[in-house]
Amino acid sequence: MAGLHGETAAAGRSAVSGVWAGVRERVLALRDAPNRRAVFGAYFKEHGHRFELHPVLTEEQVAAVERQQGVRFPEEYRSFLLEVGAGGAGPDYGLFTIKPPEPAQAPEPAPHSIPTTPPAPETFRPERTAEWEAHQAAEPQRSAYGDSDEDLARFRDAYAAWDKRDDELLDALTEGALHVSEQGCAYYTLLAMTGPERGTMWNDVRAVGEGVVPYELHGSTARVTFAEWYAHWLTRAERLARQMPEGPERPAA
């Protein structure tokens, strides 16, 4: 099995070979573009990414994060961490930073101890959104109960049970996915880490009661991968940032 896993990983790396060639340099070059401040999220108080990228991670650091989280990153994202950066400039307000665990002195194992491993990650299941929406529609209504003290108590019990389940379903919507960026106004972008949708991008729009929905480009319903998502942003950012700003003033450095 170890040999098969190694061959599978190597095939994945080969499949994305060259995807990120020159991307880091293209991003960093936008720091000097004349209209760089017009790119959404690049310059916004302390939250702007300013077209900066964190240093890349080593293979050992990426593997350490994967062991910590109990899952192997999809190959496009994994190779991004190895070749472009561990976070920084990207769509919207930029990519969240991936920080490898600090090296620590390993404690002496107790006699006859059983090695611990991270729990298996949950499967990303976007169909849970429909389940959550159905649950929302079934919210207990006070008008459906009588006016006695017993009726009020029944309503409170029913609502408490409904509310508890609502929180559970809401949290479960993003299980098996990684939040990779913030869009603003409590909207986020997710990368599916497990399940049939592994490697594809999703919008976390729970803040407006829409659950988790596929990320789409140009109105297409086709699934978008991490590399497609990032390349689309970079192409648009380059086009806008290299335009001359309107008016005689130039953006300050």
Does 80 lie in the same domain as 35? yes
Does 81 lie in the same domain as 196? yes
The whole-chain average pLDDT of the chain stands at 87
Whether 154 is in a domain gets the answer yes
Does 179 lie in the same domain as 70? yes
Q: Does residue 129 contact residue 212 with C-beta atoms inside 8 Å?
A: yes
Position 152 scores a pLDDT of 95
- In this structure, how many other beta carbons lie within 10 angstroms of the beta carbon of residue 197? 21
Q: Which alpha helices (H) appear in the chain, and where do they start and end? A: 2-15, 23-29, 59-69, 75-83, 128-137, 149-172, 226-241
Position 190 scores a pLDDT of 96
Residue 14 has pLDDT above 50, yes or no: no
DSSP string for 49-79: -TT-BPPPPPHHHHHHHHHHHTSPPPHHHHH
* Domain termination site, one of 157, 172, 187: 172
Confidence at 246, pLDDT banded by 50, 70, 90? confident
pLDDT 10s digits, 34-62: 999 999 999 987 779 999 999 999 999 99
Give percent of the chain with pLDDT exceeding 90.
Answer: 74
Does 139 lie in the same domain as 88? no
Confidence at 1, pLDDT banded by 50, 70, 90? very low
Does 149 lie in the same domain as 57? no
* Domain termination site, one of 111, 137, 172: 172
pLDDT 10s digits, 138-196: 999 999 999 999 999 999 999 999 999 999 999 999 999 999 999 999 999 999 999 99
Across 220-232, average pLDDT: 95
Does 133 lie in the same domain as 80? no
Position 219 scores a pLDDT of 78
Q: How many domains does the chain have?
A: 2
- pTM of this structure: 0.82
At 196, which CATH number?
3.40.1580.10
Confidence at 119, pLDDT banded by 50, 70, 90? low
Does 192 lie in the same domain as 96? yes
Does 180 lie in the same domain as 81? yes
Whether 120 is in a domain gets the answer no
Residues of the domain holding 164: 128-172
